[in-house]
Chains A and B, each alone.
Chain A
Amino acid sequence: MTELLLSPLRRLGHTTINAIWRLGFISRFLLAILRYSGQSLLRFNLTIREIYFAGVMSVIIVVVSGLFVGMVLGLQGYNTLSRFGSADALGALVALSLLRELGPVLAALLFSSRAGSAMTAEIGLMKATEQLDAMSVMAVNPIARVVAPRFWAGVISMPILAAMFNVMGIFGGYLIGVVMIGLDSGTFWSQMQNNVDLHYDVINGLIKSLCFGIAVTLIAVFEGYDATPTAAGVSAATTRTVVTSALVILAVDFVLTAFMF
């Protein structure tokens, strides 16, 4: 009888301790990455290679999604704004929603599922096939050789991808608003320029995407490094990367928005 009462409590305690342990581990992991970054950035071509796989390969999906998000914003925004007789403000609406929220957040979500999951799977598989141990045996630090280049590649790529997403989104809004619906092109741009502020909107959006880049890549490399070294373990780690990244992106976005705007 007492066992029946105690076992759920025990399970709760185990989950809590585990969560806190992982939080501590991920913080120490970040410190280790930062400590060995110097070594790995000296061989910058490692990072460039990872930028190619994480950043350049994500361009297509980010650009296409940006274009479509912009076009949808244009259509929906026009429908709503024209009801209040202020369809002229479409340019401002599209640019502000993209720069402040949609660009950084959606680009980060896409990046985490396109590149983050690949990083986790790659590092997890390296661990499962004992490549990381082999490196340690050869006195090559796996964090400096494998983890840090991927981390910096993600941190560098994320703002660039978000900026591309924004530009394509604004272009999509322009296509719908000006080319298809026939709003005045001058009004579209001047409304946008009157309402968008360089520091307040553009720079804050880039800072956001930089924070997302740090969070997403750290989660991805950590889950890979922490994965149970089996086929099932790597697949579970990849799933966790995508789910945790999405939740962390949304939570960080809320906090940053509360502070910034």
Chain B
Amino acid sequence: MKRSTIDLWVGLFVAIGIAAVVFLSLKAANLTPQSADQTYTLYADFDNIGGLKVKAPIKEAGVVVGRVAAIQLDTKTYRARVTLMLDKQYTFSRDASAEILTAGLLGEQYIGLLQGGDPDELKAGEHITLTSSALVLEQLIGKFMTSFSGGNNSKASASAAQ
């Protein structure tokens, strides 16, 4: 076969390969909102993050505004420090609150933000101070049980006093 024909086919092959990679990164991976220059980071400390994972979505009013970038344990306070990577087009007030919620009954956990009323905005690197922890089912049941038996005890002591 002539060399120019081979060159043409190989050129076509490589071009289609590059097009395939571009397609995968643009259409399948959606390159756009992940790059660092379009996001800013905030921090939030939680008492308990439950089953929150890195890359979990962050939602405000149900709209995804960012993703969890990292989760660490603060060795001074022994609370979980979550790094939030938020889209630059969304800013939040200084008294915004963050809570860990669950999508559906058994779904993945995500961070729900709630915008506050403070006119000052949170800047990159600052902390969200108002946080509420994930709901841990065992603790919830535990609380329910203690309050239940506590109620019984008070009733019993009341009847004993009579």
Contact = CB atoms under 8 A, between A and B. Distances in A.
Interface in B12-27: 12-14, 16-18, 20-21, 23-25, 27
Nearest to A197: B29
Interface of A: 45, 48-49, 51-52, 55-56, 59, 95, 99, 157, 159-161, 163-164, 166-167, 170, 189, 192-194, 196-198, 201-202, 206
Nearest first, the 4 closest Cβ-Cβ pairs linking A and B are A160-B17, A193-B30, A163-B20, A198-B29
Interface of B: 1, 3, 6-7, 9-10, 12-14, 16-18, 20-21, 23-25, 27-31, 34, 55, 64
A161 B20 CA distance: 9
A197 B34 contact: yes
Contacts of B12: 56
A202 B1 CA distance: 36
A166 B10 CA distance: 20
Contact of B10 (A48, A159, A194): A48
A52 B10 contact: yes
Q: What is the interface of chain A mostly: helix, strand, loop, or mixed?
A: helix
A223 B81 CA distance: 54
Nearest to A95: B28
B57 to A, nearest CB: 8
Given A95-B28, A196-B30, A52 B9 contact: yes
B21 A192 contact: no
A166 B27 CA distance: 12
A48 B7 contact: yes
Output the residue of A95, A166, A167 with the most chain B CB within 10 A. Answer: A167
Contacts of A206: 21
